[in-house]
Amino acid sequence: MKSGLLNDFMRAFQKNRQATFAAAILLGIIFFAIFAPVFATHNPTYIRLAQEQIQLPPTALHLLGTDNLGRDIWSRMLFGARISLLVGFLTMLITIIFGVAYGAVSGYYGGKLDFMMMRFVDISLSLPTIFLVIILASFFKPDFFGIAVIIGLTSWMRTARLVRGQFLSLKEEEFVTAARALGYSDCRIIFVHILPNVRALIIVNATLLVAQAVLLESALSFLGFGVQPPQFSWGSMLSASQQIIFLEEAPWTAFFPGLAIFITVLCLNFFGEGLRDAWDPKLKNIAS
Amino acid sequence: MSSLLEVRNLKKYFFLGKGAGKEQNGVVRAVDGISFTVKKCETLGLVGESGCGKSSAGRVILRLLTATAGEILYEGQNIEQLSHRELLPYRRKMQIIFQDQSGSLNPHLTIGNALGEPLRVHRLIYRKEELKAKVEHLLELVGLSPDQMCRYPHELSGGQRQRVALARALALNPQLIVCDEPVSALDVSIQAQIINLLKELQQKCGLTYIFIAHDLRVVKHISDRIAVMYLGKIVELSSKESLYARAKHPYTQALLASIPRLTPSVRRQPLIFSGEPPNPLNPPAGCHFHTRCPYAFARCAWEEPLLQAVDFDHSAACHLLDR
Amino acid sequence: MVNTLPDILLELKNLRTKFKTFDGEVRAADGIDLTVHKKEVLGILGESGCGKSVTALSIMRLIPSPPGEVHADKMELNGVELQSLTEKQMSKVRGNEISMIFQESFSALNPTFTIGEQLIDVLMLHQRLDRGAAFHKAIEALSLVQIPAAAKRLSDYPHQLSGGMRQRVMLAMACACTPSLLLADEPTTALDVTIQAQILELLRWLQSEKKIAIMLITHDLALMAEIAQRVAVLYAGVVVENASVQNLFTKPLHPYTQGLLASLPLLEAECERLKVIPGGVPNMLSLPDGCRFHPRCPHCWQICRQEEPPLFPQNGSEVRCWLFAREMK
Amino acid sequence: MANRFLRRFATLLLSLLVISLLSFTLIELSPGGAMARYVENPKMSEADRARIAERFGLDKPAPVRYFIWLRNTLQGDLGISFMTGRPVLTEILERLPATLKLMTVSFFISIIVAIPIGIYSATHRHSLADNLASACSFLGLSLPSFWFGLLLIYLFSIWLGWLPAGGMITPWFDPAAYPLLIRPFVIFWEHTRYLLMPAIVLSLSNISSWSRYMRSSLLDVISQNYIRTARANGVPERKVVYKYALRNALTPLVTLMGLDLPVFFAGAVVTEQIFAWPGMGRLFISAAGNRDYQVLMGITMITAVLVLLGNLLADLLYSILNPRVTYEG
């Protein structure tokens, strides 16, 4: 990013107050996740099964109350944030790396190769991601890293398609033809000439991917196929509330982790939207 | 003057649709067996209406598109068959500039980088200062000031961008430049600047141009010889003077008659054809032009006319010439 | 002056059209005065960004707002002030009394409706015809613009037609109700020369036979010579010269007009170098002080840098240049 | 056209084959493979496992088993469930209607809500309602559906006690107990009160994304040149939006709906789990919990068939809406 473009971008981004606000909240959440041990009031995995310890409503001692096993919800939320965010970020990385590479090759070379590669994407896209993820998760019983890999490997298709579309149209641009006339190698054209023009789109897509990954991971953990104890994420904290009885007796056990997911995803979406508007209003329809 | 480039029976077909059974979806014969030579330091104009294949021809010659058939001889060497690696030295000798000056420069590269890159990639210059000096020299050559170096393409005007594109083409010291409608997207007052610049550079650097355009005024001004294309074929090939004074092919005559004149008092009676250019997917048999030609006779509908010499350095493809 | 003639069709006084953009306010039209007489062809000549299309869209009241804003001291069509009409009244004027055709014939027709549907819609709207009558009128309209086998073409979609045909269809839609004024925005620019000649012929015919006044907007000088009776030359949002076509081509007054004419390669004569107007079209965000043309002008003197010239009358023409103020004194 | 759909159908079959191969391989590659359910069971001896493997034909090499599975599937036999010992197809067909009921209702709710919101937002850009709609759609896209479901259950079932927390119908519900006159209403309400919350939860993300898409798509179309032409020809604004623009704006939405189908199914899985809706998704979850691979394979295949048929339908609709579809696909 060169200074001229960066300035334009920052100017546009700062005009968007929602996005700036969202970015600030996100930074706050990340800060709390990193320094979880500092802010935690209890051991997040310590179980107290005495009747007067479980399902306590929020008090000064237990800021957000305790869950059905007597664990402190506030402390669990802090540590759960680490897993939730980490999975989101890792998934995004995997998706972007794989999706961009796949899309770039398919779009740049075109022809029969592109046809075959895109058929495969179409086929993969016609299966609900959650099916594959659940099948894999139920057989492999992965840790959080495994979850990230599984989600990443089942959600790169849209990114690939997006990047491919951009490559397909950009390679027809005359600056690419000029680059070929100047005898540049394919590798150079892809990375130096085309990729920077897709960069904005990829970054926006990456932000939205983190949001989607956080949502998917929490849904998976909620259903019991995500991270397994003793590891836990925001999603798995809600898991017990599937039983109506727990929801009835202690709604706060479900309320706070869900709220955390909601706010994080919301901020990520606003942030991504802000990036998109700041970079190029023309991208509006295609980056999701 | 010796010939620099010779094109023999060059063809470029586009197959529509994808997957199996391509042919049934149709073939566009964008370039359908054209032959010509370009001499050193001359300008060959390539004119025709949109879709006549002039742009494709330009790109096939530079091997930016793969030819369906034919030979491209550059200084006697057939470059059609060369591999990617073998082609590299020829890439330096032949360059292209485009119509759309905003699309022909990478929006993410500064002018300095865009001009320096070819030199670095071809390992012509390694040292930083030397590179900078060379880029400055290139900018001056096309009439831009060296402080434009750190600018991005979107910060320049259309005319300036076209100058940069030209400078980039010149970076590798080419002999041949294909100019694909280089001025048609520019404002009238800027067009003249670029045309003058092209002429100046031709003399200064000993360049050879293939000048693709649809504007017959501009082509007349800049070219030495002109090839007129219609639906993938050359219908007339001639020196400029001869073509504008004594056009032989009815299509050329029509083109010339269609140019609006600059004299309002003379209301010309233009030679207007009722028809439109035929669908390139399904061109008429025989002479492609016979459906619009006012002089067409029976033979035109079934026999394709061949390019034949009518004068010194003037040939045309029309059956009328036999009558 | 010309304004006093009785057959004034459109009178435009001090048109100012502004656009609010991210980088500031762009005054695309900055005080444009125009008069169109009945049955004449007025050419509007100018380079990209000089405000010629904006002027036409402002008259049609088709400038999107925001970001656009249109003000004029006077914008009268047949004595009716267009700015005072409600949106509903205005949509009756459009297509009926003024209509407009555009350069991009491909994107200017709706791709999901047949041209018949689009044409019949316009006819039913303005002429209160029933479907059957509108259908026959549509065929008539298409034959009017010399489309062969008009009845068959009605069921075609725009993408099935060639560029020239689409431009004819647009003309048919615009002229179906025989408006008194047709705004033609670069109608032939995207077309091939041979087709261009056909469309020009058609426009000429519409003007002479159907008595439709045409305001032809173009950057192509030669086109003006072909068809226009009077020409207004626009530069950076203002009219710099207003002249009959004869005067414009034989004795151009404004240095800009002179420069434009000189920079065209001639078919009739040979020359090694073309004459050139130095520099480029000014950025509309930061216009030069004084005369807008002065940085490129070979005759620039002190006052040109400081004060913007008004339009000076000169031999039946009008010209916005201080050179002619001297001659007046 | 017919040719095009024949081709599409062939691709559909090919896709199904690839999907089956893919999911089979996935399960095969995972630890324990098809026998995963029994591998971790300490009470079982090696001999027990071997016997089970033999009974289900799991002792044969994987490729052979795939072909056996394929042959059986083509004959309509999806195998036997490990959990219940009943044929997988029977299990699925028992559950499928519930899922389809939920999804259909939710689909129509989404369309009925999303499209008008999108149209209103686009035609009243930056109005209060538009901003509100856009904010709501953002919230909707970010809301975890399971959490939203739990909130609804807490609010309407536990706190207010208005709606049942889960299930599809009261087991002892007997319409015959009500007078004939009000019976249809009673039946309708009985179904509605169970359906309401799950359908709303499932519709949420669709409404959010479709209304936003509709808005931007319509805005996109309205800025096109052909809309300007329609206005220039005097077509009134209402007609411009509802006749000329809407059809073009709906076309990409149809494609989006087709593409969203897998997401829709995924949403159904979660929703069914929250509201104890006795559908295919719930079966899938319990099968996954028990690693009942025959059922998992079966449901995956059935879903794939439904999704692909849905895409085919979207494609058909698309080509009806858009006359420019040619043979590319």
Tell me, yes or no, whether B301 lies in a domain.
Answer: no
End-to-end Cα distance, chain A: 23
Helix B158-170 crosses helix B188-205 at what angle (to 10 degrees)? 20
Beta bridge mates, B5: B38, B74
Phi, psi values for residue D82, rounded to 5°: -65, -35
Q: Where are the beta strands (DSSP E) in chain C?
A: 8-21, 24-37, 41-45, 68-71, 74-77, 80-81, 98-101, 181-185, 213-218, 230-235, 238-244, 312-314, 317-319
Please give the mean pLDDT across all residues of chain D.
Answer: 86
- Hey, are the CB atoms on B64 and A175 less than 8 Å from each other? no
User: Is B268 a member of any domain?
Assistant: no
Nearest to D232 by CA among A77, A173, C59: C59
Domain A3-40+64-287 classification at class level: mainly alpha
CA distance D92 to chain C (A): 42
Query: Quick one: which of D69, D56, D88, D53 has its CA closest to D20?
Result: D69
Q: Does D161 touch chain A (CB under 8 A)?
A: no
Q: What confidence tens digit (pLDDT) does each residue in B263-305 have?
A: 776 655 555 566 777 888 888 888 998 888 888 888 988 899 9
Please indicate, yes or no, if residue D255 is contained in any of the structural domains.
yes
Q: Which residues of B138-155 are buried (b: 16+ CB within 10 A; e: fewer)?
A: bbebbbbeeebbebbbee
Q: CB–CB of B98 and A181 under 8 A?
A: no
CB-count burial class (<10 Å; 0-12, 13-18, 19+) for A170: buried
Interface test with A, best of B18, B108, B148, B149 (most A CBs within 10 A): B108
Residue A5's pLDDT band (cuts 50, 70, 90): low
Whether residue C252 is preceded by a cis peptide bond, meaning omega within 30 degrees of 0, is no
Residues of A in contact with D23 (CB under 8 A): 127, 132, 135
Cα of D180 to nearest chain A Cα, Å: 36
Confidence of residue D166 (pLDDT cuts 50, 70, 90): confident
Question: How many Cβ pairs closer than 8 A exist between chain C and D?
Answer: 82
Global confidence as pTM = 0.86
C95 touches chain D (CB under 8 A): yes
Answer whether the bond into residue C313 is a cis peptide, omega within 30°. Answer: no
Q: Please list every residue in chain B whose beta carbon sits closer than 8 Å to the beta carbon of residue D327.
A: 17, 25
| Closest CB from B92, B104, B108 relative to A174 | B104
B15–D contact, CB cutoff 8 A: no
Q: Are B166 and B193 within 8 A, CB to CB?
A: no
Task: Evaluate whether B293 touches B251 at the Cβ level (below 8 Å).
Answer: yes
> By the CB < 8 Å criterion, does B81 face chain D?
no
What CATH number did the domain enclosing B202 receive?
A: 3.40.50.300
Is residue B218 helix, strand or coil? helix
What ipTM does the predicted assembly reach?
Answer: 0.84
In which band, very low, low, confident or very high, does the pLDDT at D320 lie, cut at 50, 70 and 90? confident
Across the interface, do A178 and B107 touch by the CB < 8 Å criterion? no
Q: Is D253's pLDDT higher than 80?
A: yes
Could you tell me if B21 lies within 8 Å of chain D, comparing CB atoms? no
What 3-state class would DSSP assign to A276?
A: helix
Inside any domain, residue B115: yes
Nearest Cα residue in chain B from D326: B17
Which is nearest to D286 in space by CA: A242, C81, B321? A242
Give DSSP secondary structure letters for B72-106. Answer: EEETTEE-TT--HHHHHHHHHHEEEE-S-TTTSS-
Neighbours of chain D (3+ CB pairs under 8 A): A, B, C
Are the CB atoms for A74 and A257 separated by under 8 Å?
no
D3 touches chain B (CB under 8 A): no
Q: How far apart are CA C196 and CA C223, in angstroms?
A: 10
- Cα B215 to its chain centre, rounded Å, is 12
Residues B122 and B172: beta-carbon distance below 8 Å: yes
Neighbours of D224 (CB within 10 A): 17
Residue of chain B nearest D328, judged by CA positions: B17
Selection from B319, C268, A222 nearest residue D147 by Cα: A222
Nearest to A258 by CA among D151, D265, D261, B218: D151
User: What's the start-to-end Cα distance of chain D, in Å?
Assistant: 11
Measuring CA to CA, how many Å separate D216 from each of A163, C264, D229, D319? 21, 44, 20, 21
In this complex, which of B50, B196, B276 lies closest to C274 when CB atoms are compared? Answer: B196
- CB distance D23–A132 less than 8 Å? yes
Q: Which two tokens stand for residue A29?
A: 């959440």
B250 inside domain:
no
What pLDDT score does A215 carry? 92
- Maximum CA extent, chain B: 69
Cα of first residue to Cα of last residue in chain C, in angstroms, is 19
Residues 6+ apart with CB under 8 A from B98: A174, A177, A178, B104, B165, B180, B181, B182
Instruction: Enumerate residues 273 to 312 of chain D having a beta carbon within 8 A of any beta carbon in chain A.
Output: 273-274, 284-285, 288-289, 291, 296, 299-300, 303-304, 307-308, 311
Determine, for residues A223 and D36 on separate chains, whether the beta-carbon distance falls below 8 Å: no
Helix (H, G, I), strand (E, B) or coil at C59: helix
Provide the number of structural domains found in chain D: 1
Does the CB of D304 have a partner CB in chain C at under 8 Å?
no
CB contact under 8 A, D327 and B18: no
Number of structural domains (chain B) is 1
Residues in B 216-255 with any Cβ partner in D closer than 8 A? none
Q: Are D215 and D122 in contact (CB under 8 A)?
A: yes
Distance from CA of B182 to the nearest CA of A (A): 12
How would you classify residue B305: left for phi > 0, otherwise alpha for psi between -120 and 50, otherwise beta? beta
**pLDDT of the residue at C55:** 93
CATH number of D141's domain: 1.10.3720.10
Look at B263 and C249 and tell me if their CB atoms are within 8 Å: yes
From chain A, the residues in CB contact with D284 under 8 A are 131, 134
Which residues are bridge partners to C243 per DSSP? C231
| Structural domain range at position D21 | 2-30+78-321
Q: Which of B218, B220, B243, B276 to probe by mutation at the C interface, max C CB count within 10 Å?
A: B276
**Exposure b/e, B49-62, CB count within 10 A at least 16 = b:** bebbbbbbbbbbbb
Which of D24, D138, D142, D255 to mutate: most A Cβ within 10 Å?
D142
Closest Cβ–Cβ partner in B88, B152, B165 for A4:
B152
CA gap B146, D135 in Å, rounded: 49
Note whether residue B308 is domain-resident. Answer: no
Q: Is residue C235 within 8 Å of residue C256, measured between CB atoms?
A: yes
Is D232 within 8 Å of C60 when comparing Cβ atoms? yes
d(CA C327, CA C311): 13
Asked whether the CA dihedral B38, B43, B47, B52 is positive or negative, the reply is positive
Q: Which residues of B touch C248 (CB under 8 A)?
A: 264
pLDDT along chain B (323 residues), means of 10: 86 72 68 92 91 90 90 89 87 89 84 90 85 92 89 87 92 93 86 92 93 90 93 92 90 86 67 70 87 87 90 90 81
Counted across chains B and C, CB pairs separated by less than 8 A come out at 122
Domain that holds residue B48: 3-223
pLDDT at site B269? 59
Burial degree of A253 (CB within 10 A; 0-12, 13-18, 19+): buried
Q: Would you give per-residue pLDDT tens digits along chain C (329 residues)? A: 444 456 889 999 999 998 887 777 888 888 899 999 998 999 999 888 888 899 999 999 988 877 888 989 989 888 889 889 888 889 889 988 999 998 877 788 888 889 998 999 888 888 888 888 899 989 988 988 888 888 888 988 888 888 888 999 999 988 888 899 999 998 888 888 888 888 888 898 888 888 899 999 998 888 888 889 999 999 988 999 999 998 898 889 999 999 998 888 887 777 778 888 888 888 888 888 888 898 888 888 888 888 888 888 888 888 998 888 865 54
Own/partner contacts of D68-72, CB < 8 Å, gap of 24 or more, are: D69/D20, D69/D24, D69/D297, D70/D20
Q: Which residues from D are below 8 Å from A139, CB to CB?
A: 26-27, 30-32, 36, 291
Using CB atoms, which residue from C99, C104, C107 is nearest to D232? Answer: C99
Q: What is the mean pLDDT of residues D218-238?
A: 89
pLDDT confidence of A127, banded at 50, 70, 90? confident
